Amino acid sequence: MIKFENIVKTYHRQPVIHDFNLEIEEGELVVFIGPSGCGKTTLLKMVNRLIEPTSGKIVINGKDISTIDPIELRRNIGYVIQSTGLFPHMTIRENLELIPKLKGEEPDAIVEKTDRLLNLVGLNPGEYLDRYPQELSGGQQQRVGVARAFSTDSDIILMDEPFSALDPVTRSSLQEELFNMQKELNKTIIFVTHDMDEAYKIADRICLLKDGEILQYDTPENILKNPASEFVESFLGKRRVWNNPEVLKAEDIMIASPVKVSPMRNVLQAIEIMKESKVDSLMVTDKNQTLIGLVTLKDIKVTNRAMLIGDVMERNIHSVAEDMDLISVFKEMNEHKIGYLPVVNEAGQLRGLITRSSILSALSSQLMDLEVAF
**Mind listing the pLDDT tens digit for each residue in 216-243?**
999 887 887 788 888 888 887 654 554 5
* Closest-CA residue to 367 (of 227, 248, 208): 248
Class of domain 2-245: alpha beta
342 falls in which pLDDT band (50, 70, 90)?
very high
Residue 24: count other Cβ atoms within 10 Å of its Cβ: 22
SS3 316: coil
Question: For residue range 257-305, what is the model confidence (pLDDT) as tens digits?
Answer: 899 999 999 999 998 898 888 888 899 999 999 999 999 888 787 668 8
339 falls in which pLDDT band (50, 70, 90)?
confident
Q: Phi and psi of 372, rounded to 5°?
A: -65, -40
Q: Which residues of 131-157 are buried (b: 16+ CB within 10 A; e: fewer)?
A: eebeebeebbbbbbbbbbbbbbebbbb
C-alpha 176/C-alpha 308 separation (Å) is 52
DSSP H or E segment with residue 374: none
C-alpha 340/C-alpha 300 separation (Å) is 18
CATH superfamily assigned to domain 251-362 = CBS-domain (3.10.580.10)
Question: For residue range 92-137, what is the model confidence (pLDDT) as tens digits?
Answer: 999 999 888 888 889 999 999 899 889 888 889 999 999 999 999 8
| Domain positions in the chain | 2-245, 251-362
Angle of helix 107-120 relative to helix 168-185, nearest 10 degrees, comes to: 130
> CA torsion, points 30, 36, 41, 46, in degrees to nearest 10?
-110
Pairing of strands 77-81, 156-160: parallel
Q: What is the mean pLDDT of residues 180-193?
A: 89
